[in-house]
């Protein structure tokens, strides 16, 4: 069951990403040679409108293949080079190519928002409202009390209680300026987390800071945006920690780690009913879709962000980078990404064994 749920989840996220490329390519007159789901040998396929649609053996991944996307001419059956057609990727305007490349990650964010609408519309959302303060800790000493609504932390706008948890977790031991509302009056407190010897964690002194409520129809759209915003913020901050060397190896997961997480989420939510399990899995899918969108926008070779860098360089330079040079950069980047993926999978397997 875990494997089936994992495959369905990943396929949905990847298909949304590739559909973004597909729709924008078609809208800009770019020839899509093949749109396939999965990897490996082809199980079945059909051709319509000049595009081959395929289902591959291994149901993870997918791609949208454009004519001449690597800048090279096509090869005929006899091995001779065939000139690129008018609809080839390199023959489209640079802005059409930019929109086509960016559309993949954008569709991931759109999928995440659609999932958030279902989650928020059928369950509850949470406001950052202090439930109580712990005596002898910074929040109580600064005069904060139950009912205070947290609005900003170090100038960063806060809409969900999980954002409070995210910021305090990532900034263990650092002083944080908290802005909050009480009876319509804006207040401020400067809090330095204090080590709680019992839990071994640095605490600001909030004894609960979540107030759950049912959204009205207009609020569903508003708080769904906040959900996607939270996922985006969590992803970016996690990447910052990785770059700064603050993230532990065991905190980084690849496909195997994600599959294990899917199983854990399903198992923990199952006793509370099928719908609770589905909502928790939808929430995980939303976060993964945001993750994929952000990761693909990173300016790394072989990713959408890497291609975008070359296209923006073309805008500034006035002419494209030679295809063979760009292709070499993407090839090296792809090899490095594959090496990184192997290391992450090894780390996942070690964690699973432990």
Q: Which domains does the chain have, with CATH numbers?
A: 2-121+288-353 (no CATH), 126-213 (2.30.42.10)
Q: How far apart are CA 348 and CA 253, in angstroms?
A: 6
**Model confidence at 256: pLDDT above 80:** no
Q: What is the mean pLDDT of residues 54-58?
A: 87
- Condensed to tens digits (0 to 9), the pLDDT of residues 304-326 reads 998 999 999 999 988 888 877 88
Write the secondary structure of 215-252 as one string of H (helix), E (strand) and C (coil).
CCHHHHHHHHHHHHHHHHHHHHHHHHHHHCCCCCHHHC
Helix, strand or coil, per DSSP, at residue 124: coil
| More confident position, 116 or 339 | 116
- Residue 94: phi and psi, rounded to 5, are -60, -35
- Condensed to tens digits (0 to 9), the pLDDT of residues 331-343 reads 888 888 888 788 8
Instruction: Identify whether the C-beta of residue 288 lies closer than 8 Å to the C-beta of residue 253.
Output: no
Does the global pTM surpass 0.75? yes
What is the rounded average pLDDT for all residues in the chain? 87
Please name every residue paired with 73 in a beta bridge, in sequence order, or none if there are none.
none
Residue 38 carries which DSSP code? E
Q: How far is CA 209 from CA 143, 190, 196, 219, 231, in A?
A: 15, 17, 18, 20, 19
Q: Which of 63, 103, 106, 228 is nearest to 159 (CA)?
A: 228
Q: How confident is the model at residue 104 (pLDDT cuts 50, 70, 90)?
A: very high
Sign of CA pseudo-dihedral 354, 255, 337, 170: negative
Catalytic residue among 18, 69, 163, 179: 18
pLDDT of residue 212: 92
Helix, strand or coil, per DSSP, at residue 1: coil
- Condensed to tens digits (0 to 9), the pLDDT of residues 35-45 reads 998 888 999 99
Token readout for 48 is 């319509």
Q: How far is CA 163 from CA 113, 154, 321, in A?
A: 18, 12, 42
Establish whether 18 is a catalytic residue: yes
Token readout for 71 is 């800048």
pLDDT of residue 159: 94
Residue 84 carries which DSSP code? P
- Condensed to tens digits (0 to 9), the pLDDT of residues 75-98 reads 555 556 667 788 888 889 999 999
| More confident position, 247 or 145 | 145
Q: What is the mean pLDDT of residues 200-225?
A: 90
| Residue 228 exposed, middle or buried by CB count within 10 Å (0-12, 13-18, 19+) | buried
Distance spanning both ends of the chain, measured CA to CA: 22
What does the DSSP assignment read for 285-346?
HHHHHHHHHHHHTSS-TTSHHHHHHHHHHHHHHSSPPPHHHHHHHHHHHHHHHHHHHHHHHH
**Model confidence at 293: pLDDT above 90:** yes
pLDDT of residue 197: 78
| More confident position, 222 or 196 | 222
**Model confidence at 176: pLDDT above 60:** yes
């Amino acid at each position: 069951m875990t494997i089936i749920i994992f495959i369905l989840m990943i396929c949905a996220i990847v298909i949304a990403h590739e559909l973004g490329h597909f729709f924008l390519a078609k809208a800009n007159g770019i020839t899509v040679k093949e749109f396939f789901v999965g990897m490996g040998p082809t199980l079945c396929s059909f051709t319509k409108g000049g595009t081959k649609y395929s289902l591959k053996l291994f149901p993870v991944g997918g791609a949208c293949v454009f004519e001449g996307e690597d800048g090279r001419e096509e090869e005929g059956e006899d091995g001779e080079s065939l000139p690129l057609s008018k609809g080839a990727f390199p023959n489209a305007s640079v802005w059409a190519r930019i929109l086509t490349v960016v559309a993949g990650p954008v569709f991931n964010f759109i999928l995440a928002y659609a999932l958030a609408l279902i989650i928020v519309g059928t369950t509850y959302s949470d406001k950052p409202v202090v439930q109580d303060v712990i005596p002898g800790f910074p929040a109580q000493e600064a005069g904060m009390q139950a009912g205070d609504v947290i609005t900003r932390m170090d100038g960063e706008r806060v809409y969900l209680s999980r954002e409070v948890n995210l910021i305090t977790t990532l900034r263990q031991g650092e002083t944080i300026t908290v802005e909050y509302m009480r009876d319509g009056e804006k207040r401020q407190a400067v809090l330095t987390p204090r080590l709680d010897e019992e839990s071994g964690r640095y605490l600001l002194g909030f004894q609960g800071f979540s107030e759950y409520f049912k959204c009205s129809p207009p609020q569903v759209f508003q708080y769904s945006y906040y959900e996607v915003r939270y996922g985006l913020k969590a992803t970016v901050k996690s990447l910052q920690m990785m770059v700064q060397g603050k993230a532990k190896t065991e905190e980084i997961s690849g496909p195997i780690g994600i599959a294990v997480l899917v199983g854990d989420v399903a198992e923990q939510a199952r006793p509370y009913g099928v719908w609770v399990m589905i909502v928790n899995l939808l929430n995980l899918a939303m976060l993964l879709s945001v993750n994929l969108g952000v990761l693909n926008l990173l300016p790394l070779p072989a990713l959408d962000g890497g291609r975008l860098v070359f296209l923006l360089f073309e805008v500034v330079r006035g002419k494209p980078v030679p295809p063979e040079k760009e292709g070499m950069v993407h090839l090296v980047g792809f090899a490095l990404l594959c090496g990184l993926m192997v290391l992450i999978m090894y780390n996942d397997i070690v964690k699973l064994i432990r």
